[in-house]
Amino acid sequence: MAIIEMDSLTKVYKKEFTRKKVCALNDLSLKIKEGEVFGFLGPNGAGKSTTIKMLIDLIRPTSGHLSIAGRKVSDMSVKRLIGYLPENPYFYDHLSAKELLKFGGRSCDMDSALIKSRSDSLLDQLELTEAMKRPLRSYSKGMVQRAGLALALIHDPQILILDEPMSGLDPMGRIKVFNLILKLKGEGKTIFFSSHILHDIERLCDRAAMLINGRLSRLVDVQKELSKEDTLEAIFMEEVGKSEGIRE
């Protein structure tokens, strides 16, 4: 059963002064199954973040339909199902990670005892326990990224939408986040994430969509289609080559 459905999703931006139209996403249709780990990859400016922002209701589609668990993405009940990590997250400077997670839990109507136990467990898994009382402005980029991930997970959401979850992380941080995603996959969570790191997508995802110039270029069944010769990198390069050939 599809938990996330996108049907002919199109997003056209108008430039601020010239009002010139720019098509960021063109006729994207995708169905993501419950419990699936779905990778979203493409070059910069391909429309990955635009799609993710539409799933979070930060921007609205110009045309097409979008639903999560059969409901509109603007529905508050849908937001309780989602944990979202933006690309390069930025949080309140003077709050600590502990206070941030408290806010996250309270906004989802969790009781104090549950917030505390979930916070302690997540901060421990993401190695932020020692820094949990420090203001977030004193955190390194990787620590902010991990705090963002903890916030996305505090209410134990069914669906995780992660925009470049590995960006800004050092090798150790990447391993930790990788293992956490793997653990969440084991728990049956639906994970939709964008990444430039093809190797991570190969190792984590059930399926992956390649987005080039705002269009769905190819849908890959990672577990079935890939072999030693047919790597995700080779397929990706082939798709990019095709799109460049078309443009020429």
Partner 1 sequence: MRGLLSLAYITFVEGIRSRAIFGIFIMAILMFAASLTLTNLFMRDIVKVAADLSLATISFSGLLMVLFIGNNLLSKDIDKRTIYMVISRPISRAQYMFGKFLGLFLLIIASTIFLGIISSIPVYLAGIDYENSTVIFKWNIYLIAIIMIAMKLALIAAVTIFFTSFTSTSFISLVLTIATYIIGTSTETVRGILKMKTEGIEISPAIEAIIQGAYYIFPNLSTFDIKLQASHGLTLPEGYILWAITYWLIYTGIMVSAASIIMNRREFP
Binding site for partner 1 (CB under 8 A): 13, 50, 53, 56-60, 76-77, 79-80, 82, 84, 86, 89-95, 99, 102-104, 106-109, 135, 148, 151
Nearer to partner 1, 74 or 121 (CB): 74
Nearer to partner 1, 23 or 56 (CB): 56
Torsion angle in degrees (nearest 10) through CA of 43, 49, 50, 53? 170
The least CB distance from residue 70 to partner 1, in Å, is 17
In whole angstroms, give the CA distance from residue 241 to residue 246: 9
Nearer to partner 1, 91 or 139 (CB): 91
The least CB distance from residue 57 to partner 1, in Å, is 7
SS (H, E, C) 201-248: HHHHCCEEEEEECCEEEEEEEHHHHCCCCCCHHHHHHHHHHHHHHHHC
| Cβ atoms < 10 Å from Cβ of 46 | 23
The least CB distance from residue 126 to partner 1, in Å, is 16
Nearer to partner 1, 50 or 243 (CB): 50
Nearer to partner 1, 28 or 82 (CB): 82
The least CB distance from residue 229 to partner 1, in Å, is 40
* Token code pair at residue 145: 């990224």
The least CB distance from residue 95 to partner 1, in Å, is 6
CA dist 29 → 32, 33, 164, 198, 206 (Å): 10, 13, 21, 22, 18
Nearer to partner 1, 92 or 241 (CB): 92
The least CB distance from residue 25 to partner 1, in Å, is 12
In whole angstroms, give the CA distance from residue 117 to residue 113: 6
